[in-house]
């Protein structure tokens, strides 16, 4: 090879190196986003600070304060007219279940035999986006999700295929034989018809195996039926679940519908109790003492197909009693049905009506929907609060929710992981869709 051509090739190689290095650097430099927050609500203090700047980099909060200088070249989002606050949490939803008046008369047993897990997983993707549009950045998805559609949804969101809330999912609900169903012997025996809505687990061996199965297939919290049947779980059974779940670093939520069941769950040291049927003053006092989360799923009277005036009166009184007893409260809906004219998010936010009826102060409703939601979901150190280093999730509403809680009904702006999902009241999810697992191929 001649000297000249060698020099030429070397120059070419040098140029490519420079171009490559430059473009690689361009990709590595994360653009800072600066949000001008007109009013910033801190649920912890219950106060609003005006004219705050929030800096976001690489999907995380980088700085929050009033006297921050905005870096040159930062992308500026002007939310001067909105109240900015941390995202909301629904501590009990079923995103891959939507029963309806037609054709199943609101009976989910029919939904699960007429709709495949595949169809329900797609519905879950839509429901997740509807929740996010209403400001719910975290959802605990508590079973009745077919054959692990909840895990599929969580992974699709985490890997970067679609937008959606942070999902804390339970996998299949574990219960004594039958779960919440009463199958016919011809459909139950040999055909195992309750599966995949419930995992039959009656003996200690079966209970251990069921917990392992859920952990294997992507659950992040374990859900059990404490008293769905008269032969429900004993204190020892529940303690076994708690101990086994702890091996995977998971907490246990109990579906409870009787006072006796609540008593056993509390004695066993369960993490959270779903539904208010088994709650009374005595149980509330015990829960407060032990710090057990209450996910009361308080259906409002404004969803008349799903409660009755008598039931609602009890629900309101029970929620008030829990508040007076200082039980740790979460906002939870058990939303798993279609209300014509409403999105899943609009159904969930409707539940503030019950909290208003129970005369819970707005600041404490907001705390149940935010701080307590992060704690029951165990995300408080990674996602939820608007704090430096945490995932950049927040919402913006018109007005002041501390004065007028209904301001939460109209979420104008949603940011998740530093990307805008909703702006000026319109969903703009484009940046969340990818043709591959851009956030990494995590299959757990």
* Binding interface with Zn ion (CB under 5 A): 334
Between 207 and 256, name the residue whose CB sits nearer to Zn ion: 256
Between 39 and 94, name the residue whose CB sits nearer to Zn ion: 94
Q: Shortest Cβ distance from residue 285 to Zn ion (Å)?
A: 25
Q: Shortest Cβ distance from residue 122 to Zn ion (Å)?
A: 21
Between 120 and 416, name the residue whose CB sits nearer to Zn ion: 120
Between 42 and 334, name the residue whose CB sits nearer to Zn ion: 334
Q: Shortest Cβ distance from residue 142 to Zn ion (Å)?
A: 5
Q: Shortest Cβ distance from residue 181 to Zn ion (Å)?
A: 14
Q: Shortest Cβ distance from residue 274 to Zn ion (Å)?
A: 6
Between 244 and 334, name the residue whose CB sits nearer to Zn ion: 334
Q: Shortest Cβ distance from residue 92 to Zn ion (Å)?
A: 6
Between 34 and 96, name the residue whose CB sits nearer to Zn ion: 96
Compute the CA torsion angle 119, 344, 320, 405 (nearest 10 deg).
Answer: 160
Name the residue with the smallest CB distance to Zn ion: 334
Between 150 and 334, name the residue whose CB sits nearer to Zn ion: 334
51: left (phi over 0), alpha (psi -120 to 50) or beta: left
Q: Shortest Cβ distance from residue 94 to Zn ion (Å)?
A: 6
Between 42 and 90, name the residue whose CB sits nearer to Zn ion: 90
Q: Shortest Cβ distance from residue 402 to Zn ion (Å)?
A: 30
Q: Do the beta carbons of residue 152 and residue 104 sit within 8 Å? A: no
């Amino acid at each position: 090879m001649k000297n000249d051509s060698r020099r030429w090739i070397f120059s070419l190689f040098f140029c490519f190196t420079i171009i490559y290095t430059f473009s690689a650097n361009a990709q590595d430099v994360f653009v800072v986003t600066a949000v001008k927050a007109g009013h910033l609500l801190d649920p912890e203090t219950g106060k609003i600070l005006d004219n705050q700047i929030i800096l976001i980099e690489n999907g995380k909060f980088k700085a929050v304060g009033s006297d921050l200088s905005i870096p040159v070249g930062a992308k500026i989002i002007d939310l001067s007219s909105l109240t900015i606050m941390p995202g909301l949490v629904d501590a009990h939803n079923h995103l891959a279940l939507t029963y309806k008046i037609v054709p199943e008369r609101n009976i989910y047993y029919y939904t699960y035999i007429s709709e495949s897990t595949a169809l329900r997983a797609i519905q879950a993707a839509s429901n997740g986006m509807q929740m996010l549009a209403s400001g719910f950045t975290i959802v605990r998805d508590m079973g009745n999700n077919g054959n692990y559609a909840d895990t599929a949804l969580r992974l699709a969101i985490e890997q970067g295929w679609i937008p959606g809330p942070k999902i804390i999912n339970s996998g299949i609900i574990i219960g004594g034989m039958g779960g919440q169903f009463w199958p016919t012997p011809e459909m139950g025996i040999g055909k195992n018809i309750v599966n995949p809505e419930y995992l039959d687990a009656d003996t200690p061996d079966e209970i251990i195996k069921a917990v392992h199965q859920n952990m294997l297939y992507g659950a992040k919290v374990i859900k059990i039926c404490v008293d769905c049947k008269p032969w429900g779980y004993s204190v020892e059974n529940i303690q076994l679940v708690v101990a086994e779940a702890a091996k995977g670093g998971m907490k246990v939520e109990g579906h409870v519908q009787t006072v006796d069941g609540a008593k056993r769950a509390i004695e066993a040291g369960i993490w959270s109790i779903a539904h208010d049927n088994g709650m009374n003053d005595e149980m509330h006092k015990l829960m407060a003492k032990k710090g057990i989360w209450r996910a009361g799923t308080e259906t409002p009277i404004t969803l008349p197909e799903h409660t009755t005036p008598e039931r609602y009166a009890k629900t309101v009184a029970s929620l008030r009693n829990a508040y007076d007893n200082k039980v740790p409260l979460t906002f939870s809906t058990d939303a798993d049905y279609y209300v014509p004219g409403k999105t899943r998010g609009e159904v969930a936010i409707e539940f503030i009506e019950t909290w208003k009826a129970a005369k819970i102060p707005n600041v404490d409703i907001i705390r149940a929907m935010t701080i307590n939601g992060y704690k029951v979901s165990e995300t408080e150190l990674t996602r939820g609060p608007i704090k430096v280093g945490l995932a950049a999730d927040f919402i913006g509403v018109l007005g002041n929710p501390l004065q007028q809680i209904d301001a939460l009904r109209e979420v104008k702006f949603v940011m998740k992981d530093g990307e805008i999902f909703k702006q000026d009241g319109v969903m703009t999810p484009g940046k969340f869709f990818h043709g591959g697992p851009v956030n990494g191929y995590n299959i757990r």
